[in-house]
């Protein structure tokens, strides 16, 4: 094993305040952690909570559990026409 003077003096682990490499590493890690905290939907505000609601004779009958939809899925749901069968109408409602 070779004697390394840098390890003995502790300079190998010494990060000074004006060390540009340390600043770059911390900046990259900060961006990664911030990006990991958000989804693309949240950043674009392109999400809504939608549920299917069924009306019979224009009175509420039942609905599905709400779920979050984003992007193309949300656009497809919002573009869907109501399904009408006699006096029953099923529609998507998004908030």
CB 93 within 8 A of CB 53: yes
Res 83: pLDDT: 95
Q: Tell me: pLDDT of 89 over 90.
A: yes
Q: Report if residue 48 sits inside a domain.
A: yes
User: pTM value?
Assistant: 0.52
* pLDDT number for residue 41: 52
Is the residue at 21 inside a domain? no
The answer to whether residue 4 is domain-embedded is no
- pLDDT at residue 42 above 70? no
H/E stretch holding 70: strand 67-70
Q: Number of structural domains, the chain?
A: 1
Tell me, yes or no, whether 54 lies in a domain: yes
Q: State the residue range of the domain holding 63.
A: 41-94
Task: Read off the pLDDT of each residue in 38-48 and give the average, rounded to a whole number.
Answer: 65
Query: Residue 34: pLDDT band by 50, 70, 90 thresholds?
Result: confident
Q: Which of 48, 47, 54, 60 is nearest to 91 (CA)?
A: 54
Domain membership of residue 72 (yes or no) is yes
């Amino acid at each position: 094993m070779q004697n390394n003077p840098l390890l003995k003096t502790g300079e190998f682990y010494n990060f000074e305040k004006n060390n540009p490499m340390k600043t770059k590493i911390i900046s990259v890690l900060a961006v990664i952690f911030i990006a990991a905290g958000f989804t693309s939907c949240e950043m674009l505000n392109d999400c809504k909570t939608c549920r299917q609601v069924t009306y019979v004779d224009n009175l509420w009958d039942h609905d599905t559990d709400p779920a979050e939809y984003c992007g193309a899925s949300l656009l497809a749901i919002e573009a869907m026409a109501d399904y009408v069968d006699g006096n029953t109408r099923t529609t998507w409602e998004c908030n």
